Amino acid sequence: MPNVKIKASENGPYVVEIDGGKFEVERGSNVEVIEKKTIALCRCGQSGNKPFCDGTHRKVGFNADEVKIKIV
């Protein structure tokens, strides 16, 4: 399993970073493979591309503290 880092950005999305591997996202019967080291997931609930962040948190004035999450 790749090393995973998760950060809830201040006033922004969850940023998930992996050292290697791929992300696989299932939406109903569709499976999407994302070959990136970092993805941003919506935390405000207003994204038009859930589960991914599309920047809408800036428009709606989403406010939340930064939080770092470590897998140990």
The encoded tokens of residue 31 equal: 């499976």
Provide the CATH number for the domain around residue 10. Answer: 3.40.5.90
Q: How many domains does the chain have?
A: 1
The encoded tokens of residue 3 equal: 């090393």
Structural domain containing residue 64: 4-70
Q: What is the pLDDT of residues 34-59, one digit of tens each?
A: 999 999 999 999 999 999 999 999 99
Q: What is the pLDDT of residues 1-34, one digit of tens each?
A: 678 899 999 999 999 999 888 999 998 999 999 9
CA 68 → CA 10, 48, 49, 58, distances in Å?
Answer: 10, 25, 24, 20
* Report field, pTM of the whole predicted structure over 0.85: yes
**Angle subtended at Cα 11 by Cα 57 and Cα 6, rounded to the nearest 5 degrees:** 105
